[in-house]
Structure 1
Amino acid sequence: MKKYLLILACVPFLLSCNEEKKNEKEESTQMEHVMAIHDEVMPKMGKLGSLVGKLKPMADSLGAESPEAKTMRELQRANESMMDWMKGFGDRFDSEEILEGKALTPEKQKWLNEEEEKVKAVKEQINTSIEKAEKLLAD
């Protein structure tokens, strides 16, 4: 898992923009876009943990069906979704494809389209769960 986190954390600094073919450039651009979504959301993972820590004592005292417990579980699911996405993404693409813009096979291009949709859903899940938790804690 640390390997995937290291690769994904380094992507913005290492992506190459020197593709010769238009198709490769389009793939690289889409890969960069997918990684940009990841990079936008990844810093929020610490906030997820912090919010879980704030909600846990409340959830423990109020019970499993309390809004605090339900929101805490949503945060935990969002965290798990991000970890699952990163693992799946790392299993599908090698470092040259991620970091160097290596041309993708038609099958891998299809996968990249799928991964783009998945990471967008993870982003939404993370943002929504954080907003809900912050609102609950502010009340």
Structure 2
Amino acid sequence: MKNLSFFVLAFFLLAFAWACSGGGEGSGSSEDRRVEVRQEQMWDSVMAIHDEVMPQMAEVNRLSRQLKALDPESQDPEVQELLQHLSAVDEFMMQWMSEFKQLEALRESKTHQEIMQYLAEEYRKMGQLKQETQRALEAAREFLKLRGEAAPEGSSGG
């Protein structure tokens, strides 16, 4: 009977110790969870800018086609400059999307500080792309307006 009591007591002590350590899946500390939340918030901030700019790429392409139709022989330097600006923002977005690392992959290879630095840099890049996209679109719209060309649908400022 003593042996049975000893094993029962040992079992409960082990179970208690395991439970207190947060055993099993989801055993990360609350600090680990706070770190993950900060990373996810920063990730979401980067993606929010991406999600705002990405739909504008369709207008970038529409305006590019319209400008090319105006100057099929590539003679007008102003048209070529506008086309180059539109092309640059489109290419930057495509390159950024192909190089942007997923959060889970970052967590496997980087420290929290490295992840936050990476995401801060990507946030900066997306902010810069947003500004450049708006500039390129506004310049192309204004040029087409001055030329008396019909603005493509979805070209309201924004």
Q: TM-score, normalised by structure 2?
A: 0.64
Distance 1:77 1:58 in 2: 20
Is the 2:49–2:126 contact (alpha carbons within 8 Å) kept by the matching residues of 1?
Answer: yes
Q: Tell me the amino acid that sits aligned with residue 48 of structure 1.
A: V
Listed as ranges, the matches of 1:1-139 within 5 Å are 21-61=33-73, 63-65=75-77, 67-89=78-100, 93-94=101-102, 96=104, 105=111, 106-139=113-146
Q: Which has the higher contact order (CA 8 A, sep 6+)?
A: 1
TM-superposed CA distance for 1:123, in Å, is: 1.0
Runs of 4+ with >6 A deviation: none
Is the 1:60–1:69 contact (alpha carbons within 8 Å) kept by the matching residues of 2?
Answer: no
Distance 2:41 2:114 in 1: 17
The number of residue pairs the alignment matches comes to 114
Distance 1:45 1:28 in 2: 26
Bigger Rg over Cα:
2
More helix by share: 1
Q: TM-score, normalised by structure 1?
A: 0.72
TM-superposed CA distance for 1:113, in Å, is: 1.1
Over aligned residue pairs, what C-alpha RMSD do you find? 2.4
Query: What are structure 1's unaligned runs of at least 5 residues?
Result: 1-19
Distance 2:74 2:87 in 1: 18
**Deviations 1:17-47 (CA, angstroms, capped at 9, x unpaired):** xxx5222211111110100000001011111
Task: Calculate percent identity across the aligned residue pairs.
Answer: 29
Query: What are structure 2's unaligned runs of at least 5 residues?
Result: 1-29, 147-158
Q: Tell me the amino acid that sits aligned with residue 136 of structure 1.
A: F
TM-superposed CA distance for 1:109, in Å, is: 2.0
